[in-house]
Amino acid sequence: MTDYPYRMLVGWIAALVLAWLAFSSPWRATWNLLLAAFTLAVALLAILVATRRVCARRLAAQPVLQAVKASLDALPRDIRRNTPLVLSVGDATGAPALAFGEALIRITDAAIWVRVDDPIRLAHVADALKRWREGQGPDAVVCLIGADHTNDAGALNAALRRWLSAIGEASRAVGYLLPVCIAMYVEEADGAPDDCPWFGISGSDILQSDALSSLVATRVQQYAQAAVPADREARMHRAARLDALVRWTAGTLLPAFVDAQRDGLRDGPRYGRPMRLAAFGVTVTAGVPSPDSLLARFTEQVTALRRLIGDGRRAPYPLPEPLIRGIALQPVHRAFPRALVHAFAWLALAFSAACAASAWQNRALVARVMDDMARYLAVGPEHDAARVDVLLALKRDRDELEQYARAGVPPHLGLGFYRGAPLLGPLNALIAAYQPPTPPPSTIELDSLSLFQSGSAVLNPGSNRVLIGALDMIKAHPDKRVLVAGHTDATGNPRSNLKLSEARAASVRDWLADAAGLPLTRFAIQGYGDTRPKAVDDTEATRAANRRVEITLVPDCRDAHRENRPTSGQPACSFQQKE
């Protein structure tokens, strides 16, 4: 795979986000659905944008690819990889046209040269050639500049900025810093009597303008001094122009390239305008130098050479093959290993997010169970209703933890962070230790002889000590009504016994209401006489047992009706209240 699979990576990231929302998210289902819809929308939009960019890139690189297929597809694969592939660009002076003519591709012994005239297309062409070479991108970008036809400094700087930006985009497209070669041409009106060599440097990582000027000037002087006497004057004139060209280039063009190179080496191929200045050279060719060019004015100023006007002939520019030989071939940069690393990095990030969510939710689970246990222990036995409410919460916690123990821990609590198993034992112990409170005595039986004189319904002095227990029971159950029932033995007239039992019940009722500060409506009285004996009324002991007053707590039927629920036992309001 030579083309970076952006769309596959976007789909992979979307799948990881959806999986996290489905299995690890601590948020509510509504939020998870909204985030899932947002993720799908963003993923589809990103895939659409990437598809459009791929289509635009292929359309922009189509003319060059057609020329490549027509010229280079017949070449063996090893030649494609072992022969340098160079992208040739240039300014508005027409240098690429003089070097290529009408062709887009030139093949020489040194390299395969591909011409690119539009800065916007440079990144697309570089990426297309990388795919054509099966992952091995272009080996260099050469800038062809005809110095004798540069008349406007502003236009020159604008063109440089465009090409530097285009080279940066191309470096980002291929994934590495593209080596840049600067080839400067100076024209001689009378034509070069011999083939002028290239003067410059190649293969250096960092080029300093001052050191470069000195180095090229030394080699130009050696070229002039090596001439035979008949050719010495022409060579000296040519050396002076070349030296002026190097000095003008060092002060006008190279600073922009050197600054861009420093940015690229410092920030890498993903920021700024990345590039790597790897070669620089100058040469002389036959042509028509413009008398008003920036170079001509500079040369006249520093050398006093007059501006020459030629016969109008312009020879084709030679390609800077010697400069390219010093630039190493680029290795194969396959996209699949890089995409695999990125996919693994996203997987590691998703796993880390799942672990964080699992740890957070386990912490919340443990905190909830521990809080329920603490609340249960904080409620005293006297508040049984509150204890029962908390006990229900403990049972729900217990059922949840037992479900996890039987069916397995769900993903949002798993991943090695589950801490609920140790809590199951304490929960079961608390639930098993619960004991409902002992129900209070519903009836207190008092001996009539301890309360009344024989045949009397008036309480004896000191009888309040006997009634204290009944009073405490009534106060402990303020939601109950009180039934006071009087009983006698069978001695005497039954009707008199009935009235006596009722009168004794009323006396006890009045004392309890007064002592407890309760209204009489909380009480009901009933006299049974000798109709409900506890034992056979034939001995003194059984008759004493039958003479009694019973105080019973009963549900209030009025509250039961308000709550729309049946009452257990006999409601107090079923008895007729008697004053």
In terms of domains, do 396 and 359 share one? yes
* Bridge pairing between strands 105-107 and 480-487: unpaired
Arithmetic mean of pLDDT, 329-345: 85
Lowest-pLDDT range, 67-81, 147-161, 458-472? 67-81
Question: What span, in angstroms and rounded, lies between the C-alpha atoms of 352 and 363?
Answer: 16
| Boundary residue ending a domain (372, 402, 433) | 433
Question: What span, in angstroms and rounded, lies between the C-alpha atoms of 183 and 95?
Answer: 10
Question: What span, in angstroms and rounded, lies between the C-alpha atoms of 210 and 247?
Answer: 9
Residue 416 has pLDDT above 50, yes or no: yes
In terms of domains, do 415 and 313 share one? no
- Tokens 């699949």 belong to 336
In terms of domains, do 292 and 251 share one? yes
Residue count of the chain: 579
- Tokens 């062409």 belong to 125
Range of the domain at 454: 443-574
DSSP class of residue 566 equals P
579, part of any domain: no
Which tens digit of pLDDT belongs to each residue from 536-566? 878 888 888 888 889 888 876 555 444 444 4
Q: Which two tokens stand for residue 343?
A: 């996919």
Question: What span, in angstroms and rounded, lies between the C-alpha atoms of 290 and 287?
Answer: 10
How far CA 156 is from CA of 141, 168, 170, 186, 249, in Å, comes to 18, 18, 21, 16, 12
Q: Could you tell me if 65 and 132 are in contact, meaning their C-beta atoms sit under 8 angstroms apart? A: yes
pTM over 0.85: no
Residue 361 has pLDDT above 90, yes or no: yes
Number of domains in the chain: 4
Element at 144 (helix H, strand E): strand 140-146
Percent of the chain with pLDDT over 70: 82
Helix (H/G/I), strand (E/B), else coil: 3: coil
Top mean pLDDT of 34-38, 251-255, 277-281, 379-383 is at 34-38
| Boundary residue ending a domain (303, 333, 363) | 333
* Bridge pairing between strands 105-107 and 112-115: antiparallel
> In terms of C-beta density within 10 A (0-12 exposed, 13-18 middle, 19 or more buried), how is residue 540 classed?
exposed
In terms of domains, do 34 and 179 share one? no
Which tens digit of pLDDT belongs to each residue from 253-286? 877 777 776 665 554 444 344 678 888 888 888 8
Residue 453 has pLDDT above 70, yes or no: yes
Which tens digit of pLDDT belongs to each residue from 88-137? 998 766 788 888 888 888 888 889 899 988 888 888 888 888 888 878 88
Sign of the alpha-carbon torsion through 162, 163, 167, 170: positive
Q: In what order do the strands lie in the sheet with 112-115?
A: 105-107, 112-115, 85-90, 140-146, 179-188, 276-286, 199-202
Question: What span, in angstroms and rounded, lies between the C-alpha atoms of 272 and 264?
Answer: 7
Give 394's pLDDT tier (boundaries 50, 70, 90): very high
Give 572's pLDDT tier (boundaries 50, 70, 90): very low
Chain-wide mean pLDDT for the chain? 81
139, part of any domain: yes
State residue 561's pLDDT score: 47
In terms of domains, do 363 and 496 share one? no
C-alpha radius of gyration, the chain, whole number: 53
Q: Could you tell me if 467 and 511 are in contact, meaning their C-beta atoms sit under 8 angstroms apart? A: yes
463, part of any domain: yes
Residue 194 has pLDDT above 70, yes or no: no
In terms of domains, do 398 and 532 share one? no
β-bridge mates for residue 184, sequence order: 145, 282
15, part of any domain: yes
Q: Which of 485, 570, 568 is nearest to 529 (CA)?
A: 485
438, part of any domain: no
In terms of domains, do 356 and 502 share one? no
User: What is the biggest distance separating any 2 CA atoms in the chain, rounded to whole angstroms?
Assistant: 173
In terms of domains, do 462 and 543 share one? yes
In terms of domains, do 21 and 88 share one? no
In terms of domains, do 193 and 242 share one? yes
Region of 288 (left: φ > 0; alpha: ψ -120 to 50; beta: rest) is beta
Give 212's pLDDT tier (boundaries 50, 70, 90): low
25, part of any domain: yes
- Tokens 């993923």 belong to 43
Arithmetic mean of pLDDT, 397-420: 90
DSSP class of residue 332 equals P
Lowest-pLDDT range, 217-221, 230-234, 306-310? 306-310
237, part of any domain: yes
Q: Which two tokens stand for residue 465?
A: 């000590």
State residue 137's pLDDT score: 86
In terms of domains, do 186 and 127 share one? yes
- Tokens 């049984």 belong to 384
Arithmetic mean of pLDDT, 346-351: 94
| Boundary residue ending a domain (40, 71, 102) | 71
Give 309's pLDDT tier (boundaries 50, 70, 90): low
Residue 49 has pLDDT above 50, yes or no: yes
> In terms of C-beta density within 10 A (0-12 exposed, 13-18 middle, 19 or more buried), how is residue 445 classed?
middle
Percent of the chain with pLDDT over 90: 22
Residue 30 has pLDDT above 50, yes or no: yes
In terms of domains, do 113 and 245 share one? yes
